[in-house]
Amino acid sequence: MSFRKVNIVILVLAVALFLLVLHHNFLGLSSLLTNEVSDSGIVGLQPIDFVPNAPQHAVDGRQEEIPVVIAASEDRLGGTIAAINSIQHNTRSNVIFYIVTLNGTADHLRSWLSSNTLKSIRYKIVIFDTRLLEGKVKEDPDQGDAVKPLTFARFYLPILVPSAKKAIYMDDDVIVQGDILTLYNTPLKPGHAAAFSEDCDSASTKVVIRGAGNQYNYIGYLDYKKERIRKLSMKASTCSFNPGVFVANLTEWKRQNITNQLEKWMKLNVKEGLYSRTLAGSITTPPLLIVFYQQHSTIDPMWNVRHLGSSAGKRYSPQFVKAAKLLHWNGHFKPWGRTASYTDVWEKWYIPDPTGKFSLIRRHMEISNIK
């Protein structure tokens, strides 16, 4: 073979190799642009919505990313928006919101998030598939909102935020007044997968919930008459914790198979009825109490000042409310409802729905009274 023919062969091989590499890179890019799907094949992630004109501090990749997971149900969407707005405006950290919702709410949510006030946030909309809960939740008309699928999103954090090592979960009925970075930096002890605010802390015990004498203890959530509960050797007087706000070490969560443990107790409750009915509607707390018994760290009580929704009256002084890092309207009296406490604090962060689908109930009442 002549020298010229050898050169031609080498050139052809080089071109072929180049095209092969280019094709491989193109396929890799295409996969990044398609919707992400979790390992389970059930919970899907939609692409992140970056806003081009977001301030630099909101998208600075040099800062550690702080994942905040929050649910967004159609009838409570205003709460989610207010919570997100309060977090974003009280930090300069690199926060990314993982907003967990159902298919029917995604478009409404996206429209609301496109408003000028929220244009700087970074977020992913995560579609939660209710098939995850098959055989794990028993329908009970007395439990109302508690059996709604998104209530259980907190059990599936590693699936919802697959690439994160640490994350914050919070309910939609909160307002954050401190820098979320402080909460994110809550130290977790070795071997602990989460940090919660205990119900016996000084901030929470300022309020007494009517009709719930054992509201701060395990016996208020678990049926100690059941042999399976007694065999766990958990003290009934153990202080419970509130799972509406917590910091999770997802590496440890995965290592201990926390999600699988929670699902185990959900299934057993469906068969055996292990949860106490003392605190009506509490069906997410009992399995967490079992799995994290004496195996969780604590967050600063001021990062979950709760029971603002336990009554329509004001239980805390204005000074205390102002000093709180996070206000939590857990209970029946939500700040977007007919009557609630400290609505002025919540409305500071509320953004009206541009579509008009969601509105404050009390505002409707005021307008009706005027007419």
Is pLDDT at 14 greater than 70 in this prediction? no
Strand partners, 197: 242
pLDDT at residue number 13: 64
Is pLDDT at 82 greater than 70 in this prediction? yes
State how far the Cα of 352 lies from the Cα of 82, in Å rounded to an integer.
10
pLDDT band at 62 (very low <50, low <70, confident <90, very high): low
Question: What global pTM score does this model have?
Answer: 0.82
pLDDT 10s digits, 291-345:
999 999 999 999 999 999 988 888 899 999 999 999 999 989 999 999 999 999 9
pLDDT band at 352 (very low <50, low <70, confident <90, very high): very high
pLDDT band at 138 (very low <50, low <70, confident <90, very high): confident
pLDDT 10s digits, 234-245:
999 999 999 999
Strands 194-198 and 241-249: antiparallel
Is pLDDT at 86 greater than 50 in this prediction? yes
Specify whether the CB–CB gap between 143 and 216 falls below 8 A: no
Average pLDDT, integer, range 7-35: 50
pLDDT at residue number 315: 85
pLDDT at residue number 9: 59
State how far the Cα of 219 lies from the Cα of 215, in Å rounded to an integer.
8
Mean pLDDT of the chain: 83
Domain segments of the chain as ranges = 44-366
Percentage of the residues of the chain whose pLDDT score is greater than 70: 74
Report in angstroms the alpha-carbon separations of 234 from 228, 286, 290. Answer: 11, 12, 8
Give 215: exposed, middle or buried? Use CB within 10 Å, 0-12, 13-18, 19+.
buried
Average pLDDT, integer, range 64-74: 97
pLDDT 10s digits, 265-279:
999 999 999 999 776
pLDDT at residue number 116: 82
pLDDT at residue number 51: 40
Record: fold of 44-366: Spore Coat Polysaccharide Biosynthesis Protein SpsA; Chain A (3.90.550)
- Determine the Cα angle at 220 with ends 216 and 283, to 5°: 105
